Amino acid sequence: METNPQMLWRKCLQMIRDNLTEQQYETWFTCIDVVSYADGSLVLGVPSHFVCEYIEAHFVDLLRKTLTHVFGGNIRLSYSILEDKQNDIRTKVESTKGENIPNGPAREQANTSPNLLTAPAVQDLDSQLKLNYNFDNYKEGESNRLARSVGEAIAQNPARTFNPFFVFGPSGVGKTHLINAIGLRIKELHPELRVLYVSAHLFMVQWTDAVRHNVRNDFIAFYQTIDVLIIDDIQELSGKTDTQNTFFHIFNHLHLNGKQLILSADRPPVSITGLEDRLLTRFKWGLQAEIEKPTTSLRYSILSDKIHKEGLRIPENVITYISEQIDESVRDLEGIVNSLMAYSVVYNCDITMKLVNKILPRFVEVDNTPLTIEGIKAKVCEHFNVTEEALCSRSRKQPIVYIRQLAIFLSSKYTEKSTIQIGRCIGGRNHATVIHSINHIQNLMDVDEKTRRDISDLESKIRR
């Protein structure tokens, strides 16, 4: 029997090709090769997380059946993902579907009621944490600096700094990523602790299941054994009185016994309606940290990092354009990169501004109305709460001069008007004054964080 893994893989590819369209095969399987094969463990090399996730979602059953037929016996499948093409850095990821997954309890069983008598040992407990949501790939900016700093402090000394830790902010700003990162760091630094991540919705499903099977005490007892309990989207407990009562007793027990609680929501505790007062009071005990929408510079940093890891080549002006257009959600940034990657692979084309403009409307409402100097002036005045008369005046007061220079800088960047036209519209300034203002703001952006933040906030407003 043939034992060369490369030859066996080629046989697999022949069988897979017979069961797919030519385009599916060319797109998703010609880029895969064998990295290693030993003792029934097969590692396949894939070019990116996107390809790995797509294979797992759409073709893993076909892949596993083919591998079993060709290689024989039970195959333990994992992927070697090219994280950084330039430095040939790879990450090994186990297949999450099918048999022989050596990662502890299957996640498909996560919605059943835990039983204290059969609860696994700490080293075997599936924490339900997402391994790719870690601090290494959590980009820091003004919008999340406090939350991240507190999270890292908690990971160093769980339950000794801020307890509970309540993170809040709109959807898609990175709350789930942060609380997962805290959990992973705690497991790394304190492997003896039992860490569990669960969504509020899943907690309710588990409690309902426990009530239905008359194992309420087992459910509560299990959760009382957790050292670090991380609950995502806690606002979903709103109006669920029975579940809130149960969580109240679990919260009290853990807090009184020096266990860490980490909670996230889409709004601060005081704004969550339908919560019992006693639970609301406890949410306020520790520290509340808001994660705001990412600034333009943070969005650019997140985009650049993901593009680099996926080994893509996207022009600088395209990255800048995307980071300026998508200002609501980090998930939207990841989504558009995945879409660009898919188009690039399937149609074998370069990623250009034309392609971006084709995909962008699926993620954000794009306003193609040309920007005007008058419109920019109005937004700047609104942002700083000054009158247009003051902006265009001859005042030499420093705050007004700074605001005026910002308006000139943005007018130069976002309109096709000449410096003379810009100067004429902003108080009749001459060419030299306009050039000086543009250069001054550009120099400030290189050294002054406040200026960068002001520019970012204004760009978000004028591009809407």
Three-class SS state of 19: coil
Residue 120 confidence (pLDDT)? 47
Cα separation, 312 vs 350, in Å, equals 10
- Name residues whose C-beta falls within 8 Å of residue 255's C-beta, 6 or more positions apart in sequence: 163, 164, 261, 282, 285
Residue 335 confidence (pLDDT)? 74
Q: What is the mean pLDDT of residues 98-120?
A: 41
Residue 86 confidence (pLDDT)? 57
Amino acid at site 395: S
How do residues 330-340 score in pLDDT, each as one tens digit? Answer: 666 777 777 77
Higher pLDDT, 253 or 300: 253
Residue 349 CB neighbour total at 10 angstroms: 11
Bridge partners of 34, per DSSP, are 44
How do residues 363-412 score in pLDDT, each as one tens digit? Answer: 655 555 678 899 899 999 999 999 999 999 999 999 999 999 999 999 99
- Asked if 419 and 435 count as a contact pair (C-beta separation under 8 A), the reply is yes
Pick the closest to residue 178 from 227, 136, 142, 228 (CA basis).
Answer: 136
Q: What is the mean pLDDT of residues 49-57?
A: 81
The residue extents of the domains of the chain are 5-94, 123-290, 296-362, 373-462
pLDDT at 419 over 80: yes
Residue 106 confidence (pLDDT)? 37
Residue 441 confidence (pLDDT)? 92
Residue 343 confidence (pLDDT)? 72
Cα separation, 291 vs 279, in Å, equals 22
pLDDT at 439 over 90: yes
pLDDT at 29 over 50: yes
**Confidence bin at 115 (pLDDT 50/70/90):** very low
What percent of the chain is predicted at pLDDT more than 70? 85
Domains 123-290 and 373-462 agree in fold: no
Pick the range with the lowest mean pLDDT from 107-111, 253-257, 419-423.
107-111
pLDDT at 422 over 80: yes
Rounded to a whole number of angstroms, the distance between the first and last alpha carbons of the chain is 64
Reported pTM: 0.52
- Name residues whose C-beta falls within 8 Å of residue 362's C-beta, 6 or more positions apart in sequence: 339
The DSSP annotation for 118-174 comes to: GPPPTTT------TTSSGGG----TTTHHHHHHHHHHHHSTTSS-SSEEEE-STTSS
pLDDT at 98 over 50: no
Residue 96 confidence (pLDDT)? 65
Residue 296 CB neighbour total at 10 angstroms: 22
**Confidence bin at 117 (pLDDT 50/70/90):** very low
Residue 186 confidence (pLDDT)? 94
Residue 82 confidence (pLDDT)? 74
- CATH 2.30.30.100 for the 123-290 domain, yes or no: no
- Which whole-number Å values give the CA distances from 166 to 129, 236, 267, 273, 290, in the listed order? 18, 15, 10, 16, 9
User: What topology is assigned to 296-362 in CATH?
Assistant: Helicase, Ruva Protein; domain 3 (1.10.8)
Cα separation, 314 vs 303, in Å, equals 10
How do residues 173-219 score in pLDDT, each as one tens digit? Answer: 888 999 999 999 999 999 889 999 999 999 999 999 888 988 888 89
Residue 178 confidence (pLDDT)? 93
Mean of the per-residue pLDDT values of the chain: 81
Q: What is the mean pLDDT of residues 72-91?
A: 74
Pick the range with the lowest mean pLDDT from 6-15, 89-98, 265-274, 434-443.
89-98
CATH placement of domain 373-462: 1.10.1750.10
Q: Is 379 exposed, middle or buried (0-12, 13-18, 19+ CB in 10 A)?
A: buried
Pick the CATH number of 5-94 from 3.40.50.720, 3.30.300.180, 3.30.70.100, 3.40.50.2300: 3.30.300.180
